[in-house]
A = this chain, B = another copy of it.
């Protein structure tokens, strides 16, 4: 007969792959029941959306299954309380200094996984279209090491504003609020050589320590990849959903599917997929050239199972206006219907913590 003590002893050897401590030490083992050869274990994970969940369960089953006299191991999963999480020093950050003063109705993150497909451009165009429709709009530039947004919106640079309630994002010509690490640097080309925890910390501050006031939409421009910045945004911000941006290349499609898989695992809704750099229309001949190869975006959207929202062309005029800080002068007839479509699909923020937090204010 196996005992609870033996099981707990075996679990001392199973590490959380991210926290590098044993499940026992982390207090994740809620309950152990043994009956004849059967062992039932209840584990409290930091989050049920934990991408390494299967690995942890596998390791637990292997470690306990290796004990003599153990036939069957069942693992039930639950989630740690906020208190427990704080105790082991993760998640559930203290609320930001002015977080309670902000009312942010919808948070839409623009993501790709792949770099350089035009996430910042789509973020900018989306914010512009929503603003034109009369909404209060902000952009949170979550690309800490390669921020593009300020350069697109502020021809003469911009600085963080100050108010009695806290630091305020500067407003663009048409009234879009922008927060980016580059507003805090003395020179725009200073390198921000930070490892993940500092990157995550900055994003959380942009959310909770900045006085945004009331926003109908906050557009979050994510950096490439499925590492710290994306994780932090999906875990810590009350997401309405994400927009995926792809380019025609199949290679880009593969990386975008990774991003989609991440969103799925984090239980963040995907609002749809936009293809950027779809084609170049030669001004001399009017002919369309598939510079990045034939489009795979519709196929990618179908494979992921999300709406295909539309295509954007390669347009030298966009590059010119972005470089000049005058993206707001760009008239995109193509993007407006896409933005309206997106706005319709984005539900108001629904995560419980957020709703509780703002319940008294709305």
Q: Which of the 9-residue segments A72-80, A101-109, A187-195, A345-353 touches chain B?
A: A187-195
Give me the interface of A with B, judged by CB distance under 8 Å: 17-18, 51, 113-117, 143-148, 151-152, 188-199, 223-228, 230-231, 247-251, 254-255, 257-262, 265-266, 280, 282-285, 287, 289-293, 314, 316, 319-320, 322-323
Report whether B293 and A320 are in contact in the complex, using a CB–CB cutoff of 8 Å.
yes
A198 contacts which chain B residues (CB < 8 A)? 17-18
CB-nearest residue of chain B to A285: B284
Question: With A193-B231, A194-B227, A196-B197 given, is the CB distance from A322 to B254 under 8 Å?
Answer: no
> Complex: how many Å from CA A228 to CA B225?
12
Given A189-B261, A191-B265, A291-B314, 7 more pairs with CB closer than 8 A: A114-B115, A145-B226, A146-B225, A148-B251, A151-B251, A251-B323, A283-B289
Report whether B195 and A196 are in contact in the complex, using a CB–CB cutoff of 8 Å.
yes
A261 contacts which chain B residues (CB < 8 A)? 189-191
What is the distance, in angstroms, from A265's C-beta to the closest C-beta of chain B? Answer: 7
A interface, over-half SS: loop
6 contacts between A and B (CB under 8 A): A18-B195, A114-B116, A193-B226, A249-B322, A250-B323, A282-B282
Report whether B226 and A223 are in contact in the complex, using a CB–CB cutoff of 8 Å.
no
Question: With A115-B114, A251-B152, A314-B291 given, is the CB distance from A257 to B193 under 8 Å?
Answer: no
What is the distance, in angstroms, from A196's C-beta to the closest C-beta of chain B? Answer: 3
Q: How many copies does the complex hold?
A: 2
A199 contacts which chain B residues (CB < 8 A)? 196, 227
Report whether A293 and B319 are in contact in the complex, using a CB–CB cutoff of 8 Å.
yes
Give me the 9 closest cross-chain CB pairs, A-B, nearest first.
Answer: A115-B115, A116-B116, A196-B196, A189-B257, A293-B319, A145-B225, A191-B262, A250-B323, A191-B261
Report whether A146 and B189 are in contact in the complex, using a CB–CB cutoff of 8 Å.
no
> Complex: how many Å from CA A54 to CA B126?
39
Report whether A146 and B196 are in contact in the complex, using a CB–CB cutoff of 8 Å.
no
> Complex: how many Å from CA A282 to CA B314?
14
A148 contacts which chain B residues (CB < 8 A)? 251, 255
A316 contacts which chain B residues (CB < 8 A)? 289-293
> Complex: how many Å from CA A316 to CA B293?
5
Report whether A115 and B228 are in contact in the complex, using a CB–CB cutoff of 8 Å.
no
Residue from B193, B195, B319 within 8 A of A265 (CB atoms): B193
CB-nearest residue of chain B to A113: B146
Report whether B146 and A319 are in contact in the complex, using a CB–CB cutoff of 8 Å.
no
What is the distance, in angstroms, from A86's C-beta to the closest C-beta of chain B? Answer: 16
> Complex: how many Å from CA A152 to CA B250?
10
A323 contacts which chain B residues (CB < 8 A)? 249-251, 293
Report whether B258 and A192 are in contact in the complex, using a CB–CB cutoff of 8 Å.
yes
Report whether B322 and A224 are in contact in the complex, using a CB–CB cutoff of 8 Å.
no
Question: With A116-B117, A231-B193 given, is the CB distance from A289 to B280 under 8 Å?
Answer: yes
CB-nearest residue of chain B to A115: B115
Residue from B51, B223, B250 within 8 A of A225 (CB atoms): B223
> Complex: how many Å from CA A322 to CA B254?
12
A262 contacts which chain B residues (CB < 8 A)? 191, 193
> Complex: how many Å from CA A230 to CA B227?
14
CB-nearest residue of chain B to A151: B251
